[in-house]
């Protein structure tokens, strides 16, 4: 294969169309190969690289005097295009097949001499279509054109004349979104556990709640169920107040005395995360306080909060013997086991699963989701393989999420500043959780 210096050039034999292949990558680089001559491409992103490919092949088609077929590889697969000299793009027909031309008379399309047919009579016994039938035939989300990447670029550059379907990665994302958004039969409680500090429990609780909130349109709560003090409130958006679960607990008798509790009554206790459409209930943040939340207190708060939130994501403390920890596990519709890909945090997670099974929670463990978080830019692949095998044998599924510098500093978690790959990984993790609710 030889390499050209710029445009895909070379004389085209009029009797034989050239063989054209192209590749475009996520970073905007790519290449075109025309009869063995390679030309490289470097653009700002995948969509621009795709537009450059079609532009160059259209120029070749103009010199050839007719449409040219090319095979394109993008990050989501391989597909065939037919590029016309004027820049239009069609999906290439199967080998040997050409689109049927309309029936003609001479050089003009055949036009009926008579008016259109009269309305068709309905045979006796035939069931007429209803509104439900019409709705059932509307375009499914699964058949919508691609919304991202090279395929989206083709739709834009052809002004919608060709609307390629989504590739494999985009189809997986859409399936994950449907899983997170599916209707629930009632409020659901997700409990995130690992008795070791630094295992990414709080990070997981925040990102699961953010994903549920964004995909479901709110009514999601992230709750720090630490018996004394946790850090969930510190990692949320800057609050308008400093009240916590302890304050809400102390106010419950007063709220109950007024009769029916309303969602607005909770505004002074939860911390709204408007960008991600979920709320945070922090644990006690008063260094001088000796207040604590026990199992009975957890139950009272859980009964109240379940009246107003569709999904409650519970960030647990490190003391598995604490009554509020045990009460949270008892209330869980879905357990989530989190660990970094490290020996110490993984051993802590494995110990917790052994303890839960010994305490009679075998079914909850079997239906649990394990999330393995990369602790740094480089991951010990052998250890990750061991952990996937171990937790995969104990829990329903194991999901890996990538390292993200913005999550390791311990400061406020800003979801929209995370890398797209990180947000997508947490979408898939949340979908795995949602499938168990």
- Which residue has better confidence, 178 or 91? 178
Share of the chain above pLDDT 90, in %: 44
In this prediction, residue 147 carries a pLDDT of 55
Q: Which of 99-108, 122-131, 339-348 has the lowest mean pLDDT?
A: 99-108
CB 382 within 8 A of CB 406: no
- Paired sense of beta strands 220-225 and 104-105, if any: unpaired
pLDDT of 131 strictly over 70: no
Tell me how long the chain is.
437
Confidence class of residue 14 from pLDDT cuts 50, 70 and 90?
low
**Tokens 């690992």 label which residue?**
194
Mean pLDDT of 18-41: 89
Element (H, E) at 31: strand 29-34
Q: What is the mean pLDDT of the chain?
A: 81
In this predicted structure, what is the pLDDT of residue 95? 54
pLDDT at 151: 57
Interval 270-297 mean pLDDT: 82
* Predicted local distance difference test score (pLDDT) of residue 295: 92
pLDDT score of 286: 65
Confidence class for position 235, pLDDT limits 50, 70, 90: confident
pLDDT band at 132 (very low <50, low <70, confident <90, very high): low
Q: pLDDT: is 2 or 189 the higher one?
A: 189
Average pLDDT for 8-25? 72
Q: Hey, what domains does the chain have and what are their CATH numbers?
A: 2-9+17-91 (no CATH), 183-434 (3.40.50.300)
Average pLDDT on 17-29 reads: 88
Over residues 328-375, the pLDDT tens digits come to: 999 999 999 999 999 999 999 999 999 999 999 999 999 999 999 999
Residue 328 pLDDT? 96
Structure tokens at 278: 């979920």
pLDDT at 173: 83
CA distance 310 to 76: 35
Is 370 in contact with 433 (CB distance < 8 Å)? no
Residue 47 token pair: 């969509």
For the cut 50, the answer to whether the pLDDT of residue 109 exceeds it is: no
Q: Give burial (CB, 10 Å; 0-12/13-18/19+) of 368.
A: buried
Adjacent-strand bridge partners of 399:
371
Ramachandran class of 284: left when φ > 0, alpha when ψ lies in -120 to 50, beta otherwise: beta
Tokens of 354: 């052994």
Helices (H), 121-195: 131-136, 149-157, 168-181
Ramachandran assignment for 159, one of left (phi > 0), alpha (psi -120 to 50 degrees), beta (any other): left
Residue 279: which pLDDT band, with cuts at 50, 70 and 90?
very high
Distance (Å, rounded) from C-alpha 223 to C-alpha 245?
8
pLDDT at 84: 85
C-alpha span between 59 and 63 (Å, rounded): 7
pLDDT of residue 430: 97
pLDDT higher than 80, residue 162: no
Per-residue confidence (pLDDT) for residue 263, from 0 to 100? 85
Q: Return the pLDDT at 214.
A: 94
Exposure letters 322-354 (e unless 16+ CB within 10 A, then b): bbbbbbbbebbbbbbbbbbbbeebbebbbebbe
Phi, psi of 304 (to 5 degrees): -65, -50
């Amino acid at each position: 294969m030889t390499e050209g210096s710029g445009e895909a050039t070379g004389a085209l034999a009029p009797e034989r169309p050239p063989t054209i292949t192209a590749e475009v990558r996520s970073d905007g680089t790519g290449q075109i190969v025309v009869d063995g001559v390679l030309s490289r491409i470097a653009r700002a992103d995948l969509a621009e690289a795709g537009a450059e490919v079609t532009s160059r092949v259209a120029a070749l088609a103009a010199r050839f005097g007719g449409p040219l077929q090319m095979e394109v590889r993008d990050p989501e697969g391989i597909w065939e295009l037919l590029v016309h000299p004027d820049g239009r793009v069609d999906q290439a027909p199967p080998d040997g097949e050409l689109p049927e031309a309309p029936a003609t008379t001479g050089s003009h399309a055949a036009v009926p001499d008579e008016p259109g047919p009269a309305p068709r009579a309905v045979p006796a016994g035939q069931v007429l279509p209803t509104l439900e039938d019409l709705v059932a035939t509307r375009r499914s989300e699964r058949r919508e054109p691609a919304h991202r990447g090279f395929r989206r670029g083709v739709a834009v550059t052809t002004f919608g004349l060709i609307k390629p379907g989504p590739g494999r990665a985009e189809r997986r994302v859409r399936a994950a979104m449907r899983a997170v958004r599916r209707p629930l039969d009632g409020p659901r409680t997700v409990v995130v556990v690992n008795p070791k500090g630094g295992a990414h429990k709080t990070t997981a609780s925040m990102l699961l709640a953010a994903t549920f909130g964004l995909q479901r349109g709110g009514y999601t709560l992230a709750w720090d169920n630490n018996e004394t003090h946790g850090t969930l409130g510190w990692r949320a958006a800057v609050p308008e107040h400093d009240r916590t679960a302890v304050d809400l607990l102390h106010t419950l008798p007063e709220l109950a005395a007024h009769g029916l509790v309303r969602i607005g009554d909770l505004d002074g206790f939860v911390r709204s995360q408007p960008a991600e459409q979920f709320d945070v209930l922090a644990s006690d943040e008063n260094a001088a306080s000796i207040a604590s939340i026990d199992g009975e207190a957890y139950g009272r708060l859980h009964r109240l909060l379940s009246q107003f939130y569709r999904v409650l994501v519970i960030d647990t403390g490190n003391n598995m013997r604490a009554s509020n920890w045990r009460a949270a596990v008892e209330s869980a519709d879905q357990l989530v086991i989190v660990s970094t890909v490290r020996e110490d945090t993984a051993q802590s997670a494995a110990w917790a699963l052994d303890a839960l099974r010994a305490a009679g929670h075998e079914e909850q463990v079997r239906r649990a989701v394990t999330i393995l978080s990369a602790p740094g830019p480089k991951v010990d692949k052998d250890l990750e393989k061991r952990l996937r095998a171990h937790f995969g044998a104990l829990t329903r599924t194991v999901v890996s999420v990538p390292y993200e510098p913005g999550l390791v500093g311990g400061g406020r978690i800003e979801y929209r500043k995370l890398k797209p790959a990180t947000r997508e990984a947490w979408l898939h993790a949340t979908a795995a959780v949602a499938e168990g609710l």
